[in-house]
Amino acid sequence: MGKIGLYLGSNSLYVSILKGNLPPSFKSYPLDGKDIFKEATLEILMNKIARELNINKDDEIYLALEDRYFFFRSFIVPSMGKKEIESSITFEIDKYIPFKIEELTWNYGYKKIPKEKKGIVSFIGIKKNLFDGLFQPFSKLELNLSTIEPSCLALLRLIVNRYSIKKKWFAILDLCSHTCYLTLFLDNLPLFSRTIFSFREELVYGNNIIAPGEPAFLEKLTEEVRFSLQYFEREYRPYSVEKLIVITDNSNKEKLLSSLKERLSIEVEFYSPQEILDTPAGDVNTLKAYSALTFSQLPKGFLPLLEDSSTCFLGGAKALYYSINLFLLGVLIILGIFSSLVLNTSLKGRIKFLEKKVKRMESIFPLERRFKGESSETLRKILKEREAKINAIKERMDAFVDIAPILERLGSLLPQGVWLEEVNLSYPKGVSLEAEISGYIWLGDSAKETDALDKLISNIREEEELKKILSHLDLVGKETEILEGLRVTHFRIRLY
């Protein structure tokens, strides 16, 4: 039984074969401009590969895809149990990914932040029809496709088992022949992955093609990496990336090392495919194919474990699917709100604390030393003050409950291209309830995004039940931002 690693690159399918005690062998098959996901392209190609390389149904096949086919999302949460984490994931993904959760095959990993009462949740998903579609050609050919994973995770698994990475927060930059990918990690947990650029598209100026190694190429690459690291520091303040691992051919090493070290204030290490594979013929694409077949050999990393074509496991935890409806959306929004309350005001904890304290005072009232010299009138006044505080807090909680049915309908108010970032409820003046809603709009056109925002505001204003509780609406902010390489419109709405 042999092990076959496949890497589906931009223009070729790269193959790494490991059989018996023989050293690994490598081969590549060009796609000739064909869409691998259409018609029977992959089936025809795999049939050819299986015949040429003598691959049979007993061989284990491991497939790594370009990171661009996956959705990466991570976020910091307070220390919480598995059920709370899974609930927060569904709410978070509904805000940030423009697909319904049931359209994805997905799972997550969780890791506690060292010396903090917090943790990071890492989500990875792929379109279900794409994921299932990749299995069909292998199934028809009776080939044993064991797993599908992002190539960044395959590289991570190989690198951390081959070299010592002492930093907790680090990034891997790999330069393939056509595309650069940058992935940021906390230990073995991917936080986000970004396609820096495609060499074929973005480094063509007029009639000039800027090749790797040229000053303009290095300047653009370094600037894009610096921008990504700054984005990370904004999102995960006060944490920062401590080390950058660069995987590229030896021919680019010295110039790129000089450029990155000059402009980035972090440790930079280079590894070449030739060095890792111990062969002069390898490149980054070949390395990714070899990294894929180490899936069953190196038990390190954020591993996807696959049982069948409809269930993907990431990080060794079973994928869970949620049927999203308005009621569930409302429940999840409320859960998010209460998580925010626990973090910011500990409101529920305060109620229980004060209630218990008052009851304890009532039961042992005559015995407490500090009250022995007080008159009954003073004691009654103290008790009334405590009761008033409790009642005020209960009234605030009742307001949150009153607004819950409206939050259930919030998802239906969102026009196409709009998703939410946060929904925060507060009592900033200690008297009346206020809500702040923030989110993003992406439609590829600023005018259309403005129209979508106007439509959202109009939808909110037409909610009669909401107007009974929060009668005023202000557009607090609207600005253009770059979110993971895309120009989007960010907005903040205040209700009071």
Can you give the pLDDT at residue 189?
85
Can you give the pLDDT at residue 415?
87
pLDDT of 476 higher than 50: yes
pLDDT of 343 higher than 60: no
Predicted confidence band at 177 (pLDDT cuts at 50, 70, 90)? low
pLDDT of 492 higher than 80: yes
pLDDT of 327 higher than 70: no
Can you give the pLDDT at residue 432?
73
Mean pLDDT of the chain: 76
Can you give the pLDDT at residue 366?
45
Can you give the pLDDT at residue 209?
54
Can you give the pLDDT at residue 14?
93
Higher pLDDT, 335 or 247: 247
Rounded mean pLDDT, 185-194:
85
| Identity of residue 461 | R
Q: Which residue has the tokens 């903040």?
A: 492
- Whether the upstream peptide bond of residue 238 has omega within 30° of 0, thus cis, is yes
pLDDT of 307 higher than 50: no
Token couple for 492: 């903040």
Can you give the pLDDT at residue 117?
80
pLDDT of 466 higher than 70: yes
pLDDT tens-digit readout, 18-54: 887 788 889 999 988 888 887 788 999 999 999 999 9
Distances (CA, A) of 338 to 82, 334, 423: 17, 6, 11
Rounded mean pLDDT, 325-333:
53
Q: Which of 200-214, 312-326, 356-370, 480-494 ranks highest by mean pLDDT?
A: 480-494
Classified by CATH at the fold level, domain 409-496 comes out as Threonyl-tRNA Synthetase; Chain A, domain 2 (3.30.980)
Q: Which of 178-182, 318-322, 411-415, 475-479 has the lowest mean pLDDT?
A: 318-322
- Strand 25-30 and strand 189-198: the pairing is unpaired
Higher pLDDT, 146 or 425: 146
CA 127 to chain centre: 15
pLDDT of 230 higher than 50: yes
Can you give the pLDDT at residue 333?
57
pLDDT of 136 higher than 70: yes
pLDDT of 391 higher than 90: no
pLDDT tens-digit readout, 234-283: 888 788 899 999 998 766 677 778 888 888 888 898 888 888 888 777 78
Rounded mean pLDDT, 359-375:
53
Higher pLDDT, 277 or 397: 277
Predicted confidence band at 313 (pLDDT cuts at 50, 70, 90)? very low
Higher pLDDT, 428 or 136: 136
pLDDT tens-digit readout, 440-457: 998 888 888 888 898 888
Q: Which of 22-36, 107-121, 302-316, 368-382 ranks highest by mean pLDDT?
A: 22-36
Higher pLDDT, 204 or 333: 333
CATH superfamily for 3-69+105-314 is ATPase, nucleotide binding domain (3.30.420.40)
